[in-house]
Structure 1
Amino acid sequence: MGKMKKVLALLLTFVLTVSLGACGGSTKEETTKDTAQTDATTQAAAQEETTKTSENYEFKEPVTIKFANYAVLEAGYDKFWNDAKKGFEEKYPDITVEFMTAEYGQMLTQVVTWVGGGEKVDLVLGEASWISTLADAGILMPATEAFPAEYLSQIYPSMMDAMKVDGVPHGIPMYASPFIMLYNKALFEQAGLDPENPPATIDEMLEIAPKLAELKTADGNAVYPFGMTTASVAVSGSCLTSLIYGFDGYTLTDDGELDIDNPGFKQTFEFLKEIDDKGYNPQVSKLKDLRNLFALGQLAMYYDQSWGFNGVRSINPDAIDFVASAAPLAGGQGTGESLIQAHTLMMGNNGEAQVEATKLFIQYLLTEDVLIPYLQNVAPGYPSMMALSEIPGITESPVLAGAIKSLDTARSATNVPAINDFNLELAALAQAVTVNDKDVDQAISDFKTAAEGILSN
């Protein structure tokens, strides 16, 4: 099927419910670690060489990059993107960046519509979970065709894994975050705990939880020791998947088949039942509910992605004074693995000049001077370039520093068309063993039946 026919076919059948971070899945392969990481000097030299390749390209006429970017409509993000456009165009006066925009929830559909109608799209900002849809429609250029291996080797392997379709990366991660544990140092101190020594395992967390549960806020509200979202929204399934990974559990095979007959999966829901029975976790909370409790000093620890702290800070700007991060907890036979989600730059292939100009823009965005202020001041996240994670802007960030090693063990998702419905079923399973007090084995059996029906459709 030709590219245009694939796009048009997709338009006829495409219905999407999008939720930030709403992706789940697993691979039984351990996350590939970069056993031969080049040092910062070598990485910088490789990046310089790659940049020279594009900078030496001779543009015979002015080029306009058409950039599909939902964030230019969002307060707090728009300034960064407009400043980035201005700075890039000043550096490369023969290249213009033209924003094509739509609301976040409509952007993926809109990109497919634009291309189906004959509009060229050179670059897309979006979630890693969008890649399979856009690649299947023939819209994306594989990153390995655009960039040399030397440049791609500078990016965290776990982030590049999240870019893959059929083993081939189809995007460049701009920044990313696994689900990490945020905790309140002030509450740790009040409970007589060391704020610089957070728990590393589920057992350690359960050991200190009773001390935190005894605390009250200044106005007499109870303090919850640990928060895990279980509300009926797709992102809850993503967060639960991270907890499953931390127990060395699995949910889906690489081929998208159900894969829950493993100890870690069952142990996850036994744990959720235990903390619910003890009143440690606020029932059926959304992430925004947990962020609110954390901001108000009513929650000692919870799982979130790093940029979720923006929601905390919007409620209580002083939260920056007590927040700290830690790697996800290790349970069972796990080592604290987590699900990674990346904000991604995806390239079209609209001719040599367009590709070279777009490469220059991507490289510009991933430089320290451009990206680090964004991660510090706009959206806390981990830069995709390994060398940038070693600079003070990241290593001294209270939101990022404590969990930075989690990037080495993070897993990517198996993306299937029914992933949102699958994640909702994971949330329903969590509610079954907590709110409904259902036997864990029976609840898992019921989940298996429902999930297999979803995945087979």
Structure 2
Amino acid sequence: MKKVLSIGMIAVMLLMLLAGCGSGKEAGTDQTSQQENAGESAAPNAEPGESVTLTFASWSITEEATKDALEQMVEMYKQIKPNVTIEFIGIPFGDIKQQTFVMASSNNTPDIIQTISPTFPTYATSDIITPLDNLLGQDYIDDLMPSMVADYSYNGQLMGVPWAPSPYVLYYNKELFKQAGLEDRPPATYDEMIEMAKAISQLKTDSGEPIYGFGEATDKLPINGMISLRNIYSFGGSIFDENGQVNVNTPQVVETLQFYQDLVSNNISPQGAKLKDLRNLFSIGRLGMYMDGYYGKAVFRSLSGKGEEFDKEWGVALVPKNKTDQSVSIAEAHGLVIAADSKHKQEAADFIKFLTDKDAISLYHQKSDALTSRISLSESPEFNASEFDKVLIEQLQTAKSLPANNPGLEQAYLDMSEAVQRVSVAKEDPAKVAADLNAKLQQILK
């Protein structure tokens, strides 16, 4: 009897083993092997039809300009995948990185996290997010703009999806141009922009408040350090020399820092401003010009209290030419990453694919002017319908890549913003500040 039982148990075990091997070949994939090759810890996917809840940490869901679009996209996805529930975790823009790292420390990381180019390097070089190559597939990745793939990669692996890319373009207030006696056209060069800005800065509001001609963000924040690259590049400078070594102790960077100092010293730009401060000032008619991504338009409409009517009061143009004699800009992108400890990585990747597919990203564009990072969609009529669209698309073609992701890159951006603050607020010597910044970046960006 014991012998019969033993033979029976062995037979059952062999059948189970063969069945397991057969199912893996039949599906055509080996998920465990793929995840391990990508540096992931294996996590089982949900069975077809099984109820899945994905948590999505986002600042866009907390903002009036984008909340409705995200909610509509989730409703659209529910029609496609009724078994998948998306639960938003609304976190303000300035807090999302810190809060999600705190959540990760207790193994409670949201499945999907919204991020942005200046802070993405800290995610990419951490262990709280997972590589995406095997989860998304090569065909999908090949359809992403190469510069955006580079900006969201680390050590040869795609660590995030560029969700909504945007170049920085010039916004100008037509009403203030008219009041200052200027032509109704954007400046063609930096020199012309400064002359126009000086004229606008002579104006006052009816209550005597200052009106600024041109604004640059100078508060100490990583995003402002990244934004300073736009000016560094425009003055013909760079963070790295021709040998790939850090070198910002150059005439071009010194001239860039002098540019920031002169803006504030001559009362052309507000002192210590955040990007949101510039958006607010522009919306209420107290700022003649500034540079921003596509995000500005929806914010202007909301803050001005005039809605679409406010569109008649402003224009958009390419970044003026400077030392390079070209319109030089940078592009950033709102990105999406997946938690390393997510129990539903593939489902999260599928949802991200949906958010960047035609129907969803077209809705996002319609609601808040978000662009697409998909090559196959970039020339679609939906993204080239208006003059605003066309300027953004043209500027995106001239945008220079950001530095490669590095464990110290976010800190480098912060130090760069501090350098801008030192010259614009503390009025320190630009040459000394450039030398000090050079020493710091050489230690950070090894």
Q: TM-score, normalised by structure 2?
A: 0.74
Residue number in structure 1 paired with 2:9: none
Q: Do the aligned partners of residues 208 and 108 (structure 1) sit closer, same or farther apart at CA in structure 2, a change above 3 Å counting? A: closer
Q: Do the aligned partners of residues 254 and 149 (structure 1) sit closer, same or farther apart at CA in structure 2, a change above 3 Å counting? A: farther
Whole-angstrom distance in 2 between the partners of 1:188 and 1:439: 33
1:239 and 2:227 aligned: yes
Sequence identity percentage: 26
Larger mean CA deviation between 176-185 and 331-340 belongs to: 331-340
Residue number in structure 2 paired with 1:364: 354
1:260 and 2:251 aligned: no
- Give the letter for the 1:229 counterpart: A
1:344 and 2:335 aligned: yes
Deviations 1:418-445 (A, max 9, x none): 5555444433433443444443323322
Q: Do the aligned partners of residues 95 and 221 (structure 1) sit closer, same or farther apart at CA in structure 2, a change above 3 Å counting? A: closer
Residue number in structure 2 paired with 1:41: none
Residue number in structure 2 paired with 1:182: 171
Secondary structure of 1:282 counterpart:
coil
1:444 and 2:434 aligned: yes
Q: Do the aligned partners of residues 70 and 121 (structure 1) sit closer, same or farther apart at CA in structure 2, a change above 3 Å counting? A: closer
Residue number in structure 1 paired with 2:302: 314
Check the 8 A contact 1:158/1:408 in 2, yes or no.
Answer: no
Residue number in structure 2 paired with 1:325: 316
Q: Measure how far apart 1:242 and its partner are.
A: 2.1
Check the 8 A contact 1:239/1:303 in 2, yes or no.
Answer: no
1:301 and 2:292 aligned: no
Q: Do the aligned partners of residues 418 and 362 (structure 1) sit closer, same or farther apart at CA in structure 2, a change above 3 Å counting? A: closer
Check the 8 A contact 1:65/1:357 in 2, yes or no.
Answer: no
Residue number in structure 1 paired with 2:54: 66
Residue number in structure 2 paired with 1:46: none
Deviations 1:239-269 (A, max 9, x none): 2222212223223589996431344312212
| Superposition RMSD in Å | 3.9
Q: Measure how far apart 1:367 and its partner are.
A: 3.1
Q: Measure how far apart 1:341 and its partner are.
A: 2.1
Check the 8 A contact 2:250/2:434 in 1, yes or no.
Answer: no
Residue in structure 2 matching 1:335, options 326, 350, 355: 326
Whole-angstrom distance in 2 between the partners of 1:206 and 1:456: 33
Check the 8 A contact 1:237/1:424 in 2, yes or no.
Answer: yes
Whole-angstrom distance in 2 between the partners of 1:231 and 1:118: 33
1:375 and 2:375 aligned: no
Whole-angstrom distance in 2 between the partners of 1:413 and 1:69: 26
Secondary structure of 2:271 counterpart:
coil
Number of equivalenced pairs: 401
Secondary structure of 2:168 counterpart:
strand
Deviations 1:83-125 (A, max 9, x none): 3223212222344445466555554455556666556864333
Q: Do the aligned partners of residues 329 and 369 (structure 1) sit closer, same or farther apart at CA in structure 2, a change above 3 Å counting? A: same
Deviations 1:204-225 (A, max 9, x none): 3234344434545455555322
Deviations 1:157-198 (A, max 9, x none): 222221111233222211022333211123334445443x42
- Give the letter for the 1:90 counterpart: Q
Structural mapping, 1:124-135, within 5 Å: 124-129=113-118, 131-135=120-124
Q: Measure how far apart 1:274 and its partner are.
A: 3.6
1:406 and 2:395 aligned: yes
Check the 8 A contact 1:339/1:413 in 2, yes or no.
Answer: no
Q: Measure how far apart 1:316 and its partner are.
A: 0.7
Residue in structure 2 matching 1:269, options 248, 257, 262: 257
Secondary structure of 2:227 counterpart:
helix
Secondary structure of 1:339 counterpart:
strand
- Give the letter for the 2:239 counterpart: T
Q: Measure how far apart 1:386 and its partner are.
A: 3.8
Residue number in structure 1 paired with 2:32: none
Whole-angstrom distance in 2 between the partners of 1:219 and 1:443: 38
